[in-house]
Structure 1
Amino acid sequence: MEVSDTYLIRPNYQHKFKVPIVKEYIREIVRERLSGVQYDPEEVARLSSSLADCIKDKVKNAGFDRYKLVVQVVIGEQRGQGVNMSSRCLWDADTDSYAEDVFMNDSLFCVAAVFGSYYY
């Protein structure tokens, strides 16, 4: 009888969180859903939640096995102001990573980030 290893401390290369791929997923989804959209404060909560769910589903189906995903989407009104955002994480630099992208049009800006943390 053969026993498979379920305790993996490192992901196989093909299952490792790949930042360029995730960044492209974010870019595709955000541009598709927000191109031509005008900022509406009544719709921002629903729109940001919907975008986060869509991004999470796409990344989950990409085959990054054993990764816990956190998706953050921030949408704000474009008024020429500056915005600074930061995050802090305690993670394993060899296995964990994140991808993010920024979208802007005349009416709004959107920052979307996906954090992938390998589950040992």
Structure 2
Amino acid sequence: MNCCLGGVSHSYGQLRLEGANKERDDVKMAQKGEGMAGQASLVARQSSLFCTSSFQDALKVKRQSQANLSVISLAQEPIPEQPSKGKPRVVLENTYQLEPNQKFESYKVKKIIEDVFESQLKTESYDRNASKQLCMTLSEMIKNKVKEINVPRYRLVCVVSIGQLRDQGFRMGSQCIWDPKYDTFASSSYKNNSLFAVGTVFAVYLE
């Protein structure tokens, strides 16, 4: 009986020893597999750094991305209007009209500039961040009102400048290449307690 028990005890201990050895072998195999995988990934990274084919692939992707960017920038640009296929384009001959039938009256335009400044800048305070948009708005308003005078064959250029009023001196000048007989301009200035504004409309006769 004791022998049987001793035999059972001995068999159970042997089984435990074999199981422990197997677990240790499994752990060694797993560690070995992880080491081989790490070495393989390291080799793959090193080979990708110095592989010519991967470098060419990366260069190709970069060129494709640059091409896509250029396409997007071109798509954002205004597309010139194409003449309709149904209607032929009308080409007008030069009239050779060297003198205007109606001259540009500068005093009327000066009155328009003064009225716009008085109505829009009377309660305004100088703000350097908003001055740019304000100049564009006033310039567009003045130009639209001058167009209502309907002087034919004149090109209009309107410029508005706004600055902070701090008891300083200020001079503004302009130079143009034009025909002094028919080309002209109108200008007016305005100031309140905070800012000053100068508006000029150039009228150039189109032959």
Fold shared per TM-score above 0.5:
yes
Which stretch of the first structure deviates more once superposed, 55-64 or 97-106?
Answer: 55-64
1:58-102 CA-partner distances (Å, limit 9, x unpaired): 111211111111111000000011111110011111111000000
1:11-38 CA-partner distances (Å, limit 9, x unpaired): 11xx311010000011111111101111
Correspondences of 1:55-74 after superposition (within 5 Å): 55-74=142-161
Q: Compute the RMSD of aligned alpha carbons.
A: 1.1
Distance in 2 between residues matched to 1:46 and 1:93, nearest whole Å: 32
Distance in 2 between residues matched to 1:49 and 1:11, nearest whole Å: 29
What is the percentage of aligned positions where both structures have the same residue? 39
- The aligned length equals 114
Which residue of structure 2 lines up, in the alignment, with residue 7 of structure 1?
A: 96
Which residue of structure 1 lines up, in the alignment, with residue 192 of structure 2?
A: 105
Distance in 2 between residues matched to 1:108 and 1:94, nearest whole Å: 35
Structure 2 counterpart of 1:119, which letter?
L
Distance in 2 between residues matched to 1:27 and 1:76, nearest whole Å: 17
Which residue of structure 1 lines up, in the alignment, with residue 107 of structure 2?
A: 20
Q: Are 1:41 and 2:120 matched, yes or no?
A: no
Task: Kindly report structure 1 stretches of 4+ aligned residues shifted beyond 4 Å.
Answer: none
| SS of equivalent residue, structure 2 residue 177 | coil
Tell me the TM-score normalised to structure 2 length.
Answer: 0.54
Which residue of structure 1 lines up, in the alignment, with residue 165 of structure 2?
A: 78
Which residue of structure 1 lines up, in the alignment, with residue 38 of structure 2?
A: none
For structure 2, the residue ranges without an aligned partner over 5 or more in a row are 1-93
Greater helix share, 1 or 2? 2
Which residue of structure 2 lines up, in the alignment, with residue 90 of structure 1?
A: 177
Which residue of structure 1 lines up, in the alignment, with residue 116 of structure 2?
A: 29
| SS of equivalent residue, structure 2 residue 128 | coil
For structure 1, the residue ranges without an aligned partner over 5 or more in a row are none
Q: Give 1:7 deviation, angstroms.
A: 2.9
Distance in 1 between residues matched to 2:97 and 2:108, nearest whole Å: 23
Larger Rg: 2
Structure 2 counterpart of 1:35, which letter?
K
Tell me the TM-score normalised to structure 1 length.
Answer: 0.91
Distance in 1 between residues matched to 2:169 and 2:199, nearest whole Å: 17
